[in-house]
Structure 1
Amino acid sequence: MEYVKTYTVNDEHIDIQNIVDGLYYPFYMEYCRHEYIREVLGFDFETEARNGVNMVLSRYTLQFVRSLKKGDTFQVTCSPLRDKTNKAVLHFKQTILLNNKIVTKAVFSGTCVRSTGGRPFLPEALTEKLADVPEWDGEL
């Protein structure tokens, strides 16, 4: 269930070396991940936050392979993965691709928490939609 979006490097993200500053790669992945979560999973961050449910990151691991440059048009992928041991955690395996070559790869892990506190959880509507996705094997 891979989701793909195309983006163009924002000129403001270019550093003194004329490449994208490392800080911005997770942002491009976030744009794609949030669109996937909203469009495919039906979880609207704004609506859910108003209802007291916040989806939050618990960790991420990112590996840089090559750099994006000014004017590059690239793809960002997003694939959900279930956690083997914790039903309250959801993983998203993501890549940034330029000309079909990996630029950056990452796994973002998250959960939901109520604004009033309590234990992390995944809403039933999400777990139902993700019942058939593979489990994360721990690899990038």
Structure 2
Amino acid sequence: MEYTKEYTVKDEHIDVQQIMDGLYYPFYMEYCRHDYIREVLVFDFEDQAKKGVHMVLSGYKIQFLRSLKKGDQFKVTCTLYKDPAGQPKIYFKQSIILNGKVMTKAVFTGTCVPATGGRPYLPAEMIEKTVDAPVLEGADL
């Protein structure tokens, strides 16, 4: 299931070239991804942290295709994928889209870790929510 949110480029995110600074693309993707995690996966970061569960990123790959400009209204998508080897990882394929064109695309890798330290894992509730998610293919990484 593809999840989508809409945003507008903030003036303070524009660089001297009058395009959005590359630093901010992952931030907009994070806003969308966090909303997806809260709303669809029903994982509340604050509540889980109090229970000793931290959801963290373990990596990401991003590709910049086109630049956003001041005032652009764009969409950010988020789609969940499972790990092909059954590892305790989830993947979020995301795109930034303006006027039907992909501007930026990325794959973010996430997992959970105990607040006290220890090995990565996915809580049982999260595994249940991801059971029907497609498997991420190696070329998608």
Q: TM-score range by the shorter chain?
A: over 0.9
Counterpart position of 1:26: 26
Pair 1:85-2:82 in alignment: no
Shift of 1:7: 0.3
For residue 51 of structure 1, report the CA deviation from its aligned partner: 1.2
1:20 Cα deviation after fit: 0.3
Separation in structure 1 between the aligned mates of residue 32 and residue 131 of structure 2, nearest angstrom: 21
Q: Secondary structure at the match of 2:36?
A: helix
Amino acid at match of 2:13: H
| Amino acid paired to 2:7 | Y
1:114 aligns with 2:114: yes
| Identical counterparts, % of pairs | 64
In the alignment, structure 1 residue 68 sits paired with structure 2 residue 68: yes
Match runs of 1:1-140 below 5 Å: 1-138=1-138, 139=140
TM-score, normalised to structure 1's length? Answer: 0.98
Length-normalised TM-score, structure 2: 0.97
What are structure 2's unaligned runs of at least 5 residues? none
1:80 corresponds to which letter in structure 2? Answer: L
Aligned-residue offset at 1:87: 2.9
Matched pairs, number: 140
Contact 1:87–1:122 (8 Å) recurs in 2? no
In 1, Cα distance between equivalents of 2:99 and 2:132: 30
Cα pair 1:89 1:109 within 8 Å, conserved = yes
Amino acid at match of 1:7: Y
Q: Could you say what secondary structure the match of 1:5 adopts?
A: strand
Structure-2 separation of matches of 1:15 and 1:87: 39
Q: Which structure 1 segments of 5+ residues have no match? A: none
Q: CA deviation at 1:86?
A: 3.7
What displacement does 1:121 show? Answer: 0.4
Q: How big is each residue's C-alpha offset from its partner over 1:71-125, in whole Å with a ceiling of 9 and x where there is no partner? A: 0000000000000114310000000000010000000001000111111001111
Q: How far apart, in 2, do the equivalents of 1:50 and 1:12 lie?
A: 34
User: For residues 17 and 86 of structure 1, what CA distance do their matches in structure 2 show?
Assistant: 44
1:11-47 per-residue CA deviation (whole Å, 9 max, x = no partner) reads 1100000000000000000000000000010001111
